[in-house]
Amino acid sequence: MRIRIVDAFTDRPFTGNPAGVMLLNDADAFPDDSRLQNIALEVNHAETAFAHPLPEGGEADWALRWFTPAAEVAMCGHATLATAHVLHTTGAHEGPVRFATRSGVLIATPAGDGSVTMDFPTAPLTRVDPPRGLAEALGAEPLTVLDTGPNVGDLLVELADEKTVHGLGPDLKALAAHSARGVIATARAEDPARGYDFVSRCFFPNVGIDEDPVTGSAHTALAPFWSERLDRPGLTGLQASRRSGLVHTELRGERTLLTGRAVTVIEGELLA
């Protein structure tokens, strides 16, 4: 079986968020979970996506699952983008592709300019009191804290400014106690003329990811938060990790559109 490493939410190799992608030939089922988890651990990127074709005539075209090196996750934006990119660049699927996932049917639509737009459920945001110890664990005082619901599983934490987000050096062990997956730290862009409206960083110690380079699923929470603040449905977010990447968002009520590009950087064969 072929395995590919794809950098997502970027059009340049070695930036954005790398994901492993495996297209499986069996149209009936995935291999057992332990094998999928072992492959994801071997790939050792934030997520590895596994997809197999589904019979024609159903509500979806491909079944899709995502694994970190430590666990299966309910939603992953960058690995979905990477999978759609592989399907379209290899000719395995043409036009919009419908993925059957743990988060329902997700649709990824390619555009002529090489970008892919994904239709994801908008995260339900609930304002909560800052948990005791969160400021110390994160290394900054929260302005606002919100729960992002079961699909995302993070705390969304608004900080004072972009400089504070860039300068974070959290205590990851302490941070792990505060949410199911991790913490999304965000602030308004200092200068929107630079091409983005808000900035974020994502720390997911509970699923084996200290800092995720660019997180599509987090933007299903960031989009409604900042669209309300900035009074615009369409925004661009910069995820300010060392690799960095841009996610274009459009809020459509209970759905959020995430648009980005991807580039395949490695292709090989699974021998084990």
Q: What is the DSSP letter of 1?
A: -
Task: Classify residue 99 by burial, with Cβ atoms within 10 Å: 0-12, 13-18, 19+.
Answer: buried
Three-state DSSP class for residue 234: strand
User: Which residue has tokens 């974070």?
Assistant: 168
CA 36, distance to chain mean position in Å, is 19
Rounded Cα distance, 8 and 1, in Å: 21
3-state secondary structure of 163: helix
Query: Nearest to residue 89, comparing CAs of 114, 64, 106?
Result: 114
Helices (H), 74-177: 77-90, 134-138, 162-166, 172-175
Q: Choose the catalytic residue: 47, 158, 162, 211.
A: 47
Q: Which residues pair with 229 in a beta bridge?
A: none
CA 103 remoteness from chain centre: 13
Active site residue 47: yes
Break the chain down into helix, strand, coil percent, rounded to 5: 20, 40, 40
Residue with tokens 């995720």: 212
Residue with tokens 């989009």: 223
Catalytically active residues are 47
